[in-house]
Amino acid sequence: MGRLKTLDEWLDWQESLHTQEVDLGLERVQKVYRKLFPNGVPFQVITVAGTNGKGSTITFIDSIYQQSDFKVGAFTSPHLIKYNERFSVNGKMASDESICQAFDTIEVLRGDTSLTYFEFSTLAALVIFANEKVAIAVLEIGLGGRLDSVNIVDPNVSVITNIAIDHTDYLGDTREVIGLEKAGIMRNDVSCICGDQNPPTSLQNHADNIGALLTFVNQPYLGKISLQGEHQQYNAALAIEVVNQLQPLFPIDQSQLSQGLEKANILARFQIKILNDKTIVLDVAHNEAAIKVLAETLKSEKVPTLAIFSALKDKNIELMINAIEFCIDEWLIVPLSVNRAIRIQDLVEKFSLSSKITTCKGMESAIHQALNTQQHQRVVIFGSFHTVVDAMKILDKY
């Protein structure tokens, strides 16, 4: 391989490097991690797993530490518009240069060990955060827990937001089995904070088996936050408990805490735009549990609502539709331009006959139609990260 220059060249090359997009197992990535960090990473680590709510919980934790003098890094995935969003230091996303520099470092030490695109990004996050000398890094577990590449790092605190059915091909199809996969991020004698309001017994059993210190958060935070929906009050409470665990090392006072929670802002989680006197809601909800939460938040205001929807074919789309149908008056369904997208004619068949649906040839025409209807004051765009990204790119032109 010649020297790669740009971030795009690096990412194209990584995508061709390892044939499987998801190849769960830690041996390969661990080998490279040990070469990069023979003594472990030089910062405190919070790992965050869960089916839904990871992004919001990380945003709350990150925002709280940004009010202090402690430098904080956050690693999240997937990105919405730009790959650089995956790595942020004190709220600023990493530059192309710092990411390419990290890739270079990894490439020099990798030898003949094959890495997936996601493993490259995990290691890059750790290298960037070490170079930036962060005090704390908040790392999102991309898929599951036990075998996710982020789990090569031993956390100082781990977090499990909640357990719902998603990614059944990789994680199993019951909450008990999925719970055990997520529990894989626990460590002996290390605090694990869980925000699930009805936790599977596999979590407590695993904690007992390995001697992890498991705490459940059952009460919502009642202070002011800018993220919409009751579930966000629970995510905020989870973030507070995590920050409390690290209080001896990183003291945070009450005003930093409340300001951090109030300022926390996240793209495409019940994100609202006003256009043509219509409320546009963008939400990356893409499984039944997340869509139920979206429906609850929508339900609090009785407004005629139009949905722009599309999804990936490996999701249980009927359950997604059933969870929100009661508060949608009309559906516009759009094709997505990714490999895992469902064909539009297959998507039509997922709807009950009573649903009022229109197929659109693309996102542009769906948005145009939505903004020009008289009878709907609210438009909700959801079903996949890809659905929301396609919409954002078009809405930015308005």
For 131-178, the pLDDT digits (tens) are 999 999 999 998 778 889 999 999 999 999 998 866 555 555 688 888
Amino acid at 360: C
SS3 call for 271: strand
Can you name the CATH fold of 7-263? Answer: UDP-N-acetylmuramoyl-L-alanine:D-glutamate ligase (3.40.1190)
Domain residue ranges in the chain: 7-263, 271-395
Distance of CA 339 to the CA centre of its chain: 20
Residue 155's closest CA among 187, 128, 124?
187
pLDDT tens track for 64-108: 999 999 999 999 998 888 999 999 999 999 999 999 999 999 999
DSSP letter for each residue of 348-373: HTTS-TTS-EEE-SSHHHHHHHHHT-
Residue 44's closest CA among 138, 177, 121?
138
What pLDDT, on a 0 to 100 scale, did the predictor assign at position 171? 52
Is the predicted pLDDT of residue 21 greater than 70, yes or no? no
Q: Which residues contact 330 (CB under 8 A, 6 or more apart)?
A: 306, 307, 356, 357, 358, 376
pLDDT tens track for 283-315: 999 888 889 989 999 999 999 999 999 999 988
pLDDT tens track for 228-280: 888 899 999 999 999 999 999 999 999 999 999 999 988 888 899 999 889 99
- Going by CATH, does the domain composed of 271-395 fall within 3.40.50.980? no
Residue 310's closest CA among 279, 278, 345?
345
Q: How many residues does the chain have?
A: 398
What pLDDT, on a 0 to 100 scale, did the predictor assign at position 330? 95
Q: What is the pTM of this model?
A: 0.85
pLDDT tens track for 312-371: 998 889 999 999 999 999 999 999 988 889 999 999 999 987 789 999 999 999 999 999
Q: Which residues contact 129 (CB under 8 A, 6 or more apart)?
A: 41, 43, 73, 75, 87, 89, 137
Which pair of structure tokens corresponds to residue 329? 């008056």
DSSP letter for each residue of 132-153: TT-SEEEEE--SSSTTSGGGGS
